[in-house]
Amino acid sequence: MTDKQRPCVRYGIIGTGMIARVHAEALRASSNSELVAVHDVVPERAAAFGRDFGVAWESDLEAFLARRDIDAVTLATPSGLRADVALPAAAAGKHLLCEKPLEVTLERVDSIIEAARRAHVRLGCVFQARTVGSVRRVHDAIEAGRLGKLVMANVQVPWYRNQEYYDASPWRGTWKLDGGGALMNQSIHIVDLLLHFMGEPASVMAYTDVLAHKNIEVEDTAAAVVRFRNGALATILVTTGAAPGFPRRLEICGTGGSVVLVDERVERWVLTADEPNDMADAAALSELHGDLGGAGDPAAISIEGHREQIENLSRAILTDTEPMVSGREARRSVELILGIYQSAREGREVRFA
Ligand SMILES: NC(=O)c1ccc[n+]([C@@H]2O[C@H](COP(=O)([O-])OP(=O)(O)OC[C@H]3O[C@@H](n4cnc5c(N)ncnc54)[C@H](O)[C@@H]3O)[C@@H](O)[C@H]2O)c1
């Protein structure tokens, strides 16, 4: 099949800030998707971005969504404005690939899920760590019962964001538009993996604080203990105040074996019944991707995970199937993080329905 004959989904980007550049590069590198136009409420930003990537730009949302050459949009606005653009985009028949978090309250998350359902468009959410082969291998091992009964998990995110990071975009560090701090913005990727591996949470107890930054409303440090419905316990310890920023770490322990991922790389893989032990095999899957990045520098993010998620959404559109991370899946991490905030605020255990 020649390039011209290959099915291709045509994308627009909404919100042309920092992460939108990763979207545009990922679209450029993708085999089944292409960027045709961008939109930002700030015309100069949209124009500069359009020029940089050689595509059309629009500062009027209605005109942008009226374009018939856009099949799908990636939504890279501030987190708490996602629903503002997702609802009209879905109503205009555009498939949606939303940045994480899907939105910052469950009501707004649900409004996006419902809008996509009503308009019969596909809805995916960017959690690029899910694309890494080692993550898929750990999930498969858990699903196959190879870790035995899950007993414990441990999440650590000792990341760093300097004060300039928060000062550069006024929405960052606010409850309304960021929805939270070290948890809702940076650590949501690993909270998503924790839930992907461990199942449904039953309850949580937590502390949060602002220890390393000025003029932000949200937490830059959080500690939580989660009890899962399957009985397992997990600790979550995250910050954006740990200079210079070390890799994030996720340990999953069961009666049949334990796995340690450091930035999605397999550091330990000991399954007691393994014959032979296939750690090298699982580790090789993470090496293929390289480092997804982000520990100390928010702009140093690999395009690979985004490219895979864009290609995955395009396949989902072309084959009428669910994307890798659906709206329902993306809702789970927002719900747990909001539970953590509630527990810290009210000084009590929060149970999930
Ligand atoms: N997947 C990841 O690893 C990753 C990394 C960084 C950021 N993000 C997410 O991407 C989103 C954007 O983050 P960022 O750091 O790029 O922000 P940013 O501030 O750099 O860019 C946001 C852009 O959105 C534009 N905008 C604001 N309101 C708008 C509206 N109503 N309609 C259209 N455009 C609007 C702004 O003008 C700005 O250009 C956030 O939700 C963040 O959580 C994800």
Q: Is 286 in the pocket of ligand 1 (CB under 6 A)?
A: no
Largest CA distance in the chain: 61
Q: What is the SS3 assignment for 182?
A: helix
pLDDT tens string 315-353: 999 999 999 999 999 999 999 999 999 999 999 999 999
Q: At 209, which amino acid appears?
A: D
For 324, which DSSP code?
S
CATH placement of domain 132-297+327-351: 3.30.360.10
What's the CA gap between 184 and 188, in Å, rounded? 5
Fold of 9-128: Rossmann fold (3.40.50)
Q: Is 42 in the pocket of ligand 1 (CB under 6 A)?
A: yes
Return phi, psi of residue 296, to 5°: -120, -25
Instruction: Give the pLDDT confidence score for residue 301 in this predicted structure.
Output: 82
Q: Is 325 in the pocket of ligand 1 (CB under 6 A)?
A: no
Pairing of β 233-239 and β 123-125: unpaired
Q: For residue 41, what are the contacts with CB-CB under 8 A and spacing of at least 6?
A: 59, 61
Q: Which residues, listed in sequence order, are joined to residue 154 by a DSSP beta bridge?
A: 235, 251
Is-same-fold flag (9-128; 132-297+327-351)?
no
Write down the domain spans for the chain. Answer: 9-128, 132-297+327-351
pLDDT tens string 112-141: 999 999 999 999 999 999 999 999 999 999
20 against 282, higher pLDDT = 20
pLDDT tens string 211-254: 999 999 999 999 999 999 999 999 999 999 999 999 999 999 99
Q: Whose CA is nearest to atom 35 of ligand 1?
A: 15
Q: Is 303 in the pocket of ligand 1 (CB under 6 A)?
A: no
HSE-up (13 A, CA, CB side) for residue 81: 13
Q: How many CB atoms lie within 10 A of CB 207?
A: 14
Element (H, E) at 318: helix 304-319
Q: For residue 60, what are the contacts with CB-CB under 8 A and spacing of at least 6?
A: 39
